[in-house]
Amino acid sequence: MTILLQIPTLVLLCALQGAEGRGKPEIPAFPLNAAEQERILDLFQATEEKISADGTVELTDDFEREDRSLGDDWFPSPGSEISGKLRWRRDWEGHSRGVSGGVIIADEGQWFHAAVWQPDVRMELTYVSFLGGRRGDMVAAVFVWSKRLRQRVGSNLGTQLVRIAGTRAAGGVGKAPIIAYEEHHKFGFELKGGRFSSLLNGRAKEQTDSKKVLKKLGGGQVGMVWRGTISGIIPQMKICGKLDLDWAAGQIAPLRERLDQHRQEMVSAKR
């Protein structure tokens, strides 16, 4: 499996999405051939990977195995410094009931998968806290989009749907979660058909299709945002959704060529 092309800045990542989603032609039906599917999967380091001809990609990261190449798909990549806010577990820390390893998050931070997805994506993970929480704590699975990734909506441990500004909650729907010591939180979100749903144990908890919350919704990235008295571990994560083919084509030249040709043919057919 090839090493994922690293993207050094948020600005470059955002440029792949276009300014506020404008100027990019609508992608008509475009089935990926077998070679393109294989090349797309080669962009990732996930523990398990699946792809279909319509561009639906499923990635499972088993961080509990502590395969550090998994971090190549994420920015920033988890470090090893004990003082770090995002790091791999060390041998003597991070053990809890049913968890033997993973990525530790602490204090305040943000962590995004490098891929760009259409607004048709689902993300689920497990989070286990090393501390009892306090009022206002947030551990959110998020979808971020628009210029400089400023538009953010998230699922705060599944029980609360939150708008996010930077790493701060800027409004929410639903009851704020209570973080308990060593409790396994299985949560995430689903974005589909212009509706964002927080997920708790695989089921929708809170939902919104508000144009204010999902302003100028377009292609974006998934990840985590946390803030407060936070110290816990993420052993597993799963992402499944429609990949933004322009993002993939930016790294796979034959796909870029065929995608552009396909669009030209569709335009000519409509004249």
Tell me how far apart the alpha carbons of residues 121 and 56 are, in angstroms, rounded to a whole number.
9
Q: What's the N-to-C CA distance of the chain in angstroms?
A: 42
pLDDT band at 5 (very low <50, low <70, confident <90, very high): very low
Pick the residue with more confidence: 256 or 97?
A: 256
Nearest partner of 237 among 61, 1, 29, judged by Cα: 61
Across the range 148-176, mean pLDDT stands at 96
> Is 50 exceeded by the pLDDT of residue 8?
no
CA distance 52 to 38: 10
Is pLDDT at 10 greater than 70 in this prediction? no
**Is the torsion defined by CA of 131, 136, 140, 146 positive or negative?**
negative
Domain assignment present for residue 205? The answer is yes
Q: 48 is written with which tokens?
A: 């398990």
Instruction: Judge whether residue 252 has pLDDT over 80.
Output: yes
Give the pLDDT of residue 90. Answer: 79
The predicted structure's pLDDT at residue 257: 97
Residue 261 lies in a domain: no
DSSP string, the chain: -PPPPP---HHHHHHTT-GGG-SPPP----PPPHHHHHHHHTT---SEEEE-TTSEEEEEEEGGG--GGGGGGEESPPB--TT-SEEEPPTTS--BTTB---EEEESSEEEEESS-EEEEEEEEEEEEESS---TT-EEEEEEEESGGG-EEEEEETTTEEEEEETTEEEEEEEPPP---TT-EEEEEEEEETTEEEEEETTEEEEEE--TTTTTT--SEEEEEEEESS-EEEE-EEEEEEEE-HHHHHTT-HHHHHHHHHHHHHHHHHH-
Cβ(156)–Cβ(170) under 8 Å?
no
Q: What pLDDT score does 83 carry?
A: 66
Token pair in block for residue 114:
């490098």
Q: Mean pLDDT, to the nearest integer, of 218-224?
A: 98
What is the mean predicted confidence (pLDDT) over 64-87?
90
Confidence of residue 113 (pLDDT cuts 50, 70, 90): very high
Residue 77 covered by a domain: no
Q: Looking at residue 89, what is its pLDDT?
A: 87
pLDDT band for position 100 (50/70/90)? confident
Alpha-carbon gap, residue 48 to 235, rounded angstroms: 14
The tokens for 193 are: 């058909």
Q: How many domains does the chain have?
A: 1
Indicate the pLDDT class of residue 29, thresholds 50, 70 and 90. Answer: confident
The whole-number average pLDDT for the span 10-14 is: 40
CA distance to 27, 133, 167, per residue, from 48 (Å): 27, 32, 30
Task: Judge whether 182 lies within some domain.
Answer: yes
Q: What is the dihedral of CA 225, 179, 46, 111, to 10 degrees?
A: 10
Answer yes or no: is 258 within a domain: no
The two tokens of residue 187 are 């949560």
pTM value is 0.88
Amino acid residing at 77: S
Residue 87: inside a domain = no
CA distance 78 to 105: 9
Least confident of 26-30, 78-82, 121-125, 245-249: 26-30
256 within some domain: no
Residue 189 belongs to what domain range? 12-27+106-243
Q: For residue 73, tell me if it sits in a domain.
A: no
Q: Which of 9-23, 25-39, 58-72, 102-116 has the lowest mean pLDDT?
A: 9-23
In CATH, what number is assigned to the domain containing residue 235?
2.60.120.560
Structure-token match 């809890």, residue found:
96
